[in-house]
Amino acid sequence: MRHAHTVAQVREAEAVLLARLPEGALMQRAAHGLAHAILDLLGSAYGRRVLLLVGSGDNGGDALYAGAVLARRGCAVDARLLSERVHEGGLAALRAAGGRVVGDIATRPDVVVDGIVGIGGRPGLRPDAAAALAQVRGVPLVAVDTPSGVDVDTGELPDDHVVADLTVTFGTHKVAHLVDPAAHACGAVHLVDLGLGPVLPTADVEALQPADVARLLPRPASDAQKYARGVVGVRAGSAEYPGAALLSVAGAASGLAGMVRYVGEPAVADRVRAAHPEVVGAGRVQAWVVGSGGGEHAGTELTAALADGVPTVVDADALAHVTGPLPETTVLTPHAGELARMLGVERTEVEATPLAHARRAATTYGCVVLLKGRRTLVAAPDGRVRVTETGTPWLATAGAGDVLGGLVGALLAAGLSSYDAASVGSWLHGAAASLASDGGPLVAGDVAHAIAEGVRGLPRP
């Protein structure tokens, strides 16, 4: 599991560790990890030019000590000081290693190191820092811990902030590394282990890794039969949108549940059975998927599904008929526009602050909310959130959400909790898309067909 801690949690853990270590040991670990990550990015050291942008916090100290390591390796290291007060020990180490302090950026560097604002700083950048960054626009940039200016605990972005190619963080991931829009500004993220793990508290924000998915995924027992593996029902599609039914069923019929039932208009049902001969008609189910392409009938279908008292995935057209708290076994799967309408806010607000709005929706409706996006968020009413890191930009294609809803429904029917089904389903959906895409375009049906391959690629639990 990849855990993302808040600034307060990190500071508390660091204080415990600092009491056990010699003075300066933690910063030296961070600085050497940072320096080696920069060397990996540069590919070589001798003759390469490195510019440090240094503020007053510990991130500036990390940058200065890393600059000293790089200077000793043969890099030409310049430091532009953006505060009258910087880390004295780090500055002395840089000068002793042959690094320089410069008042202006006269020579274009090979890499810029952002040590402007620490994780405890306020979001945004001062004008002098923004001006210095503007002078080196286009140069690869490495952020120390988090890109300066981002809101570390929320993943939100002010108007002025650093956009990094690589972020080197220490001890643990922070919320801004996982949650958009700040995660996008981090670029690639490299974690330097400082030994904080044993003293860190439980994190409310986390991201599943392949081993976690393998452990959570329901697998048939040696004596399994189709009913024991779970039956998922799909109420989706209409005469106007028959494709939604086909794609929802494709996600549900990916083999993760024992049986799929389809309930819908006769003409649509005929098309579903033609494409998926293993799908059967109405009957008892362990979970429902409702809403995709449902049109004017979506409200009626939602009422019928909820009346069964089983876990239910509510998607697309059915979301417009959600008016109050739902059973805690429900999973809502809106995109930003749909969630904005449900919460009575503008779409831009949801896109700017997705973590806050996903949590608000989970509390408002009393169930799990899967907010679709580049970094999909799965929020539980108790405040826990899982972030999906799998996927590809090619996944932004019509019908992909229908497949996702069916997949989550299958996992619910197979016995996962709503929180686990939503987060495992989202992870598998993104992984399947990457496999199907292989770097190129795809359509939603390709994602459904690649789910089995994604499962086969998981490590053995």
What tens digit of pLDDT does each residue of 193-233 get? Answer: 999 999 999 999 999 999 999 999 999 998 999 999 999 99
For residue range 136-179, list pLDDT tens digits in order: 999 999 999 999 999 999 999 988 999 999 999 999 999 999 99
Residue 23 pLDDT > 90:
no
Average pLDDT value over all residues in the chain? 96
pLDDT for 159 equals: 85
pLDDT at 120: 84
Three-state secondary-structure class, residue 192? strand
Query: pLDDT category, 118, cuts 50, 70, 90?
Result: confident
Q: What is the largest CA-CA distance in the chain?
A: 81
Q: pLDDT (tens digit, 9 = 90+) per residue, 364-383?
A: 999 999 999 999 999 999 99
- pLDDT tens digits for 336-372? 999 999 999 999 999 999 999 999 999 999 999 999 9
pLDDT in tens, 24-63: 899 999 999 999 999 999 999 999 999 999 999 899 999 9
- Percent of the chain beyond pLDDT 90? 93
C-alpha to C-alpha distances, 42 to 9, 69, 75, 431, nearest whole angstrom: 33, 14, 10, 30
pLDDT for 461 beyond 90: no
Residue among 327, 252, 246 nearest 293 (CA) = 246
| Tokens matching residue 216 | 């959570």
Closest C-alpha among 153, 166, 161, 84 to residue 119: 153
Q: What percent of the chain has pLDDT over 70?
A: 100
Cα–Cα distance between 203 and 196 in angstroms, integer? 13
- 368-371 and 377-379 as β-strands: parallel, antiparallel, unpaired? antiparallel
- Per-residue pLDDT tens digits for 439-450: 999 999 999 999
For the chain, domains (ranges, CATH) are: 2-205 (3.40.50.10260), 210-456 (3.40.1190.20)
Is the predicted pLDDT of residue 107 greater than 90, yes or no? no
The pLDDT assigned to 128 comes to 93
Give the model's confidence band at 106: pLDDT under 50 very low, under 70 low, under 90 confident, else very high: confident
Helices (H), 58-99: 58-72, 88-96
Is the pTM higher than 0.75? The answer reads yes
Q: Which residue has the higher pLDDT, 126 or 106?
A: 126
Collapsed DSSP state (helix, strand, coil) of residue 187: coil
pLDDT value, residue 87: 94
- Measure CA of the first residue to CA of the last residue in the chain; give whole Å: 14
State residue 104's pLDDT score.
Answer: 87
Q: Which residues pair with 51 in a beta bridge?
A: 78, 112
The SS3 assignment for 94 reads helix
Q: Which amino acid is at 432?
A: A
C-alpha dihedral sign at 309, 310, 311, 315? negative
350-357 long-range contacts (CB < 8 A, ≥24 apart) are 351/181, 352/156, 352/157, 352/181, 353/154, 353/156, 354/155, 354/179, 354/180, 354/181, 355/154, 355/155, 355/156, 355/175, 355/179, 355/205, 355/385, 356/154
Cα 38 to Cα 15, 78, 90, 150, 337, distances in angstroms? 27, 15, 17, 21, 39
Query: From CA 65, how far away is CA 34, in angstroms rounded?
Result: 9
The pLDDT of residue 277: 97
Predicted pLDDT of residue 296: 92
3-state secondary structure (DSSP) of residue 112: strand
What's the CA gap between 94 and 106, in Å, rounded?
19
Is 152 exposed, middle or buried, given 0-12, 13-18 or 19+ CB atoms closer than 10 A?
buried
